[in-house]
Amino acid sequence: MSAPAAGLHSALLEQTLPFGGNALLLTGPARVGKRALAWAIAAQHNCSGTKGMAGEACGACASCRALAAGGHPDTLLVEPRATTATGKAARRKLIPIGAVLSGRDKAREYDTHVFEFLEMRPTFARRVVIVDGAEHLGQEAANALLKLVEEPPHRALFVFLAEDLRAVLPTIVSRSARLSVTPVADRLLERALTLAGQEPDAELVAFAAGRPGVLEVAEAVRAALEDARTFTLALDTGLLPALQEAEGLEKRWNPTWHPEALRFAWRVAPPHARARADAALSALQDALEAYASPSLSFQVFALSLRDAFGYA
């Protein structure tokens, strides 16, 4: 996420500037800005220049320039692998112990491992490990991290990110200072679009629902919204158009944005119809995760939706 987007949560940066503890836990919805805030915290704790009024990094010192270039030596991002060794989408997100200990990373999925990363002294001020998806930490990985979190080498800082606090292992929660990253006002998203040189987009802002991260992938989101709108309209046109649009949707399917875009397109439907449509969408996602025939799955999906909305 861009620096302006991170600035939408500047009040939280004021709280993290004086933080001298070992671990922070940032919780909030997907794309609400947790990762942007984590990078801003990493910049903040390594910045040697004059901090801004909200505690943000100066953006001009050697550390800030390194972070802007995308190669900061004191910051490590750890996240679940999205694909399996065969290149297929992973059925279950997991941060394994191999992310922490190189000796346990048999498939060499991670280029840098937490334990080895923290053995090195910081180049600037403080090594920062950002764990994006703390709820996906395996028990072994979490246990391996605990000693490091309790006694981090060289005053290292852990920043854990999670969408659901209840899914994070209690051992991680109990050792972290917690901050809630909440959606921002629509007017702030509109202002961020204007600052980025874009016209405020009412549909995009409504879809974002206060999540600044959505603006970073605006074109992908707009494409998904257009697909969802076209597909939903085709359902009422007739069986053949519905099946044809389902075929097109299959070819363009983005598992990150199309499901949410479809639900957004259905938001004006009666509650009972939305509930049945949601069930059909969940069935489609389950089928795709089970590597069922995509073509057949989307055809069944279209038929189920026509029935859910009373078009059959």
Q: Examine the domain organization and report whether 71 and 86 are in the same domain.
A: yes
In the Cβ-directed half-sphere of 62, how many Cα atoms lie within 13 Å?
A: 5
* Longest Cα separation, the chain: 66
- CA dist 245 and 224 (Å) reads 13
Predicted local distance difference test score (pLDDT) of residue 88: 54
Q: Examine the domain organization and report whether 161 and 272 are in the same domain.
A: no
With cut-offs at 50, 70 and 90, classify the pLDDT of residue 8: low
In the Cβ-directed half-sphere of 295, how many Cα atoms lie within 13 Å?
A: 1
Predicted local distance difference test score (pLDDT) of residue 162: 97
Q: Examine the domain organization and report whether 136 and 17 are in the same domain.
A: yes
Q: Examine the domain organization and report whether 254 and 202 are in the same domain.
A: no
The answer to whether 266 and 241 are in contact (CB under 8 A) is no
Q: Examine the domain organization and report whether 212 and 158 are in the same domain.
A: no
Query: Is a pLDDT exceeding 50 seen at residue 1?
Result: no
Query: Is a pLDDT exceeding 70 seen at residue 39?
Result: yes
Mean pLDDT on 148-177: 95
Mean pLDDT on 97-118: 92
With cut-offs at 50, 70 and 90, classify the pLDDT of residue 187: very high
Strand partners, 281: none
Q: Examine the domain organization and report whether 300 and 196 are in the same domain.
A: no
* Chain mean position to CA 83: 16
Predicted local distance difference test score (pLDDT) of residue 2: 46
Predicted local distance difference test score (pLDDT) of residue 202: 94
Predicted local distance difference test score (pLDDT) of residue 70: 85
Query: Is a pLDDT exceeding 90 seen at residue 11?
Result: no
Query: Is a pLDDT exceeding 90 seen at residue 38?
Result: yes
Residue 191 belongs to domain spanning = 185-216
Last residue of a domain, one of 164, 182, 200: 182
φ, ψ at 37 (rounded to 5°): -65, -40
Other CB atoms within 10 A of residue 128 CB: 24
Q: Examine the domain organization and report whether 134 and 194 are in the same domain.
A: no
pLDDT > 90: percent of the chain: 78
Predicted local distance difference test score (pLDDT) of residue 198: 86
pLDDT digits (tens, 9 = 90+) for 83-93: 455 555 555 78
Q: Examine the domain organization and report whether 141 and 197 are in the same domain.
A: no
Other CB atoms within 10 A of residue 136 CB: 20
pLDDT digits (tens, 9 = 90+) for 122-153: 999 999 999 999 999 999 999 999 989 999 99
pLDDT > 70: percent of the chain: 94
Six token digits for residue 92? 């279950």
- 204 vs 70, which has greater pLDDT? 204
Strand partners, 27: 162, 180
Q: Which of 4-18, 74-88, 90-104, 208-222 has the highest mean pLDDT?
A: 208-222
Mean pLDDT on 245-257: 96
Q: Examine the domain organization and report whether 189 and 269 are in the same domain.
A: no
With cut-offs at 50, 70 and 90, classify the pLDDT of residue 106: confident
The pTM of the full predicted model, rounded to 2 decimals, is: 0.84
Domain with residue 152: its CATH number is 3.40.50.300
- CA dist 14 and 27 (Å) reads 17
pLDDT digits (tens, 9 = 90+) for 267-306: 999 999 999 999 999 999 999 988 889 999 999 999 999 9
Q: Examine the domain organization and report whether 33 and 174 are in the same domain.
A: yes
pLDDT digits (tens, 9 = 90+) for 210-246: 999 999 899 999 999 999 999 999 999 999 999 999 9
DSSP 30-97: TTSSHHHHHHHHHHHHH--S---TTS---S-SHHHHHHHTT--TTEEEE---SB-TTSSBPSS--B-G
Name the DSSP letter for residue 8: G
Q: Examine the domain organization and report whether 200 and 252 are in the same domain.
A: no
Number of domains in the chain: 3
Handedness of CA 3, 9, 11, 15 (dihedral sign): negative
Task: Sort 180 into a burial class: Cβ within 10 Å, 0-12 / 13-18 / 19+.
Answer: exposed
Q: Which residue in 161, 209, 218, 213 sits closest to 183, CA to CA?
A: 209
Our CA dihedral for 168, 172, 174, 175, rounded to 10 degrees, sits at -150
Q: Examine the domain organization and report whether 154 and 22 are in the same domain.
A: yes
Last residue of a domain, one of 197, 216, 235: 216
